[in-house]
A and B are shown apart, each in its own frame.
Chain A
């Protein structure tokens, strides 16, 4: 299972994420329909963004699957985040008043 704190990047768009809470599904975490790789690892040069997974993602948002696995977008990109073919959903946070 992928380690919490691992940083991953897309092979087909600018997306970068960090794993906040790991889960089995994250081994097949994809951006733009193509599996994400650890930052620093080799990426396939012939991979292309899947048009069905091109809704993009938002910088600084946390995305979760139904098991509670969670990633944070540290660089936004054009690809949809998904585990297999199932898109992740944005973790909605209740806004807290500024307290610092």
Chain B
């Protein structure tokens, strides 16, 4: 089915329900739906083959997602932090795009010579123009998202209407939210979580409050002023919220669930957050762009049990991403393709209607039985809890031994002098690769490299001890918190070349 139907159902169910709050704009479901009809008319009249958006999101995101769907055109939210050149490269890969931009990006977008319209003009035209409604085939592409391309050229992931509606219907009950429920959305619009938030919260009947430029103080203010009951953050945001709450303890009485995901969250931060917000239910959501968002969830109950447990098998689940959502099957496979049993790490494969595994210019990478290789190294425990070890590309091979960076990072981050850490492999004539730990010290700490190496050696085999420990004020990350390991390696190699 088409994602348009999600809006159609929401608006026929309760058109007067408050739907979007974003920088002073407030829309009901009915108002959004009317604007979407007009927006589809603007897109159709422009003769565009696809729609793209450059800006920080807010109301423009649901508006353009559904306007594009109703015009039966694929929609691509683009990273608004890209350079003009980067933006040009990506828009050149979209079919006859109409690029909608927020005013701050006018010069950049107009400079690349594509068909474009400002967000304000788009909305004005949508209010006054002829509405349109076309019906997309359920297998048509609804959303195209570019991967962050931390290691290679960004790939254009194609999500069909069926992929997205399967996700929404598999994980959300229609109109299941309470009338007073509100979600605070601060994930970037060009990330799959931004897209899925607009779809699933609309379907659940939860008011969507947008915070387009994340700031911890503003996030806390909005939770209180808008009576926010649910929110999703990436790890760096969680870290800032926790720091702010430590500095200025503030009650968040309405907040019932706080989901985190996008990249790995260090366990000390999860524990700190649990202790600081004892009445909030924490949710760890794991998913990929190619899987239309979340495929596994560690629930609030899972968090509570793991946090209070003394049994190691239970307590370690605080570091798991939980169990697969309905409609998703998972397999862990070894290098030779055999399916592995519990507690054996291998590559994670997933299957289900929400899984696309399809890229523009490349095609589908699903195997003959519909399984998608995630390129994530993972393991399942005996109860089916999924543990993500890391990207297979990040595996360090030192003297013929495979080492997952996460294994060493998980130990180092528990050291009181360590705030954050990334462990990378750097080319070495003797070992092939050596292990380098890039450490961000905790506030006011001046950790001794030898002490940190000894700390690792106490928990892990000697071959896992970092050969070198270097310090840095902050780790380079994508906006969703994925560490740019390649940048760290390049930096280390450059320094090596100089010395």
Q: Chain A residues in contact with chain B, CB under 8 A? A: 4-5, 18, 20, 59-62, 72, 74-75, 93-100
Contacts and interface: CB of A to CB of B under 8 A. Distances in A.
A99 B285 contact: yes
Interface of B: 1, 5, 8-9, 12-13, 137-138, 162, 169, 171-176, 183, 193, 196-197, 199-201, 204, 206, 230, 232, 257, 259, 261, 281, 283, 285, 293-294, 297, 299-300, 325-326
Contact of B197 (A59, A93, A95, A100): A100
B1 A60 contact: no
B174 A97 contact: no
Nearest to B161: A5
B138 A98 contact: no
A39 to B, nearest CB: 10
| Interface of chain B, main secondary structure | mixed
B171 A99 contact: yes
4 A-B pairs with least C-beta separation: A60-B174, A99-B285, A98-B230, A100-B197
B259 A100 contact: yes
Nearest to B206: A98
Contacts of A20: 1, 169
Contact of B204 (A62, A93, A98): A98
A73 to B, nearest CB: 9
27 contacts: A4-B138, A5-B138, A18-B1, A59-B174, A59-B175, A61-B174, A72-B1, A72-B169, A74-B5, A74-B8, A93-B326, A95-B173, A96-B297, A96-B325, A96-B326, A97-B257, A97-B259, A98-B201, A98-B206, A98-B257, A98-B259, A98-B283, A99-B257, A99-B294, A100-B201, A100-B232, A100-B259
B300 A93 contact: no
B283 A99 contact: yes
Nearest to B287: A99
Contacts of A5: 1, 137-138, 162
Nearest to B162: A5
A93 B173 contact: yes
Nearest to A74: B9
Contacts of B259: 97-100
Given A97-B281, A98-B283, 13 more contacts: A4-B138, A18-B5, A20-B169, A59-B13, A60-B9, A60-B173, A60-B174, A60-B175, A74-B8, A93-B173, A96-B171, A98-B257, A98-B259
A62 B175 contact: no
A100 B175 contact: no
A60 B13 contact: yes
B201 A99 contact: no
Contacts of A61: 174
B9 A100 contact: no
